[in-house]
Amino acid sequence: MITVLGRRARILAATTATAGLLLVAGCGSDDGDASGTQTAAGGVTLVKGGQLTTCTHLPYPPFQSEIDGKVQGFDVSLVDLVAEDLGVQQQIVDQPFENFKTGGSLNAGQCDLAAAGMTITEERKKNVDFSDPYFEATQAVLVDKKSGIGSFADLKGKKVGAQAQTTGEDYAKSQGLDPVSFESSDAVINGLRTGQVEAVVIDYPVVQGWLKDQANADAFEVAEQINTGEQYGFTVKKGNEPLLKAVNKALADAKADGTYKKLYEQWIGPYEESAASPSAS
């Protein structure tokens, strides 16, 4: 259970379905036919009645990952606030990142929004509508402490890993590297741990999550943080203004009433105003 400011109480209960890993989160009422469309508060039309269906790609801690049989994380908690305002429950669908990065899942009616620590880019804006930015991220170079690698510049000629379809992979390629692509963040850290690669380039908040594990902290270190000007946003189907408005309102309210700060400290670490409050793009 995640409790934030009393009224933000949430219970994440695991369940399974053929579409993938589904999680029902929250305590909202289901007052409609769950197999049909439903108009929620604010005139928001949902793909399934009584629930806000969220597409994500697991695992991507600290934003979303399965912990003790429940999908939890910073993104999950923030979208819970949107669901609460709409008077429904959140349900999470695990899909390949490419499915919703391109807007395919949203256009096909498989989910209402996507939340996956997703960087706002001009290319992605062609396919989806982004919420206001809710997090500013840097890239990090994580290496074995015995590697002798001290910066991004030292990666030339080295075997470097990155998560497929991410801005970390894009950045590595833009700098002339040919990174080994891994399907998930778990696979990325395992590739470094087993010596498949000598370094990895991935979002710094993910690295922060890894280094909370003492075994990882003993073995690995951040060689460099790279400010690439990245901001995260949630996505909805292009033209879905009612839901976009609801998402932006929930984010603004959370920052105003202190909920955002509490969730940031719970999932990310010590609160950093610059990372937590990026200006709208």
Q: Could you tell me which residue, 62 or 180, shows the higher pLDDT?
A: 180
- At residue 70, φ and ψ (nearest 5 deg) are -130, 140
Q: How confident is the model at residue 32 (pLDDT cuts 50, 70, 90)?
A: very low
Q: Span 202-224, mean pLDDT?
A: 91
Query: What pLDDT is attached to residue 22?
Result: 43
Q: What length is written for the chain?
A: 281
Query: What pLDDT is attached to residue 13?
Result: 31
CA 110, 82, 92, 134: dihedral to nearest 10 degrees? 100
| 15 has a pLDDT exceeding 80 | no
Query: Please, which residues have CB within 8 angstroms of residue 58's CB and are 6 or more apart in sequence?
Result: 21, 64, 65, 66, 71, 94, 184
Distance CA 266, CA 2 (A): 10
DSSP codes, 223-279: EEEEEEEEEE--EEETT-HHHHHHHHHHHHHHHHHTHHHHHHHHHT-S--HHHH-PP
Burial (CB < 10 A; 0-12, 13-18, 19+), residue 33, is: exposed
pLDDT in tens, 52-82: 999 999 988 889 999 999 999 999 999 999 9
Query: What pLDDT is attached to residue 37?
Result: 53
Query: What pLDDT is attached to residue 273?
Result: 72
- Please name each of the domains of the chain with its CATH number: 12-134+233-276 (3.40.190.10), 137-230 (3.40.190.10)
pLDDT in tens, 252-281: 999 999 999 999 999 988 887 766 655 443
Contact 112, 174 (CB under 8 A): no
Strands (E), the chain: 12-17, 20-25, 38-40, 44-46, 51-56, 65-67, 70-72, 89-94, 113-114, 128-130, 135-144, 160-163, 180-182, 199-203, 220-232, 235-237
pLDDT cut 90: percent of the chain above it = 64
Q: Could you tell me which residue, 149 or 274, shows the higher pLDDT?
A: 149
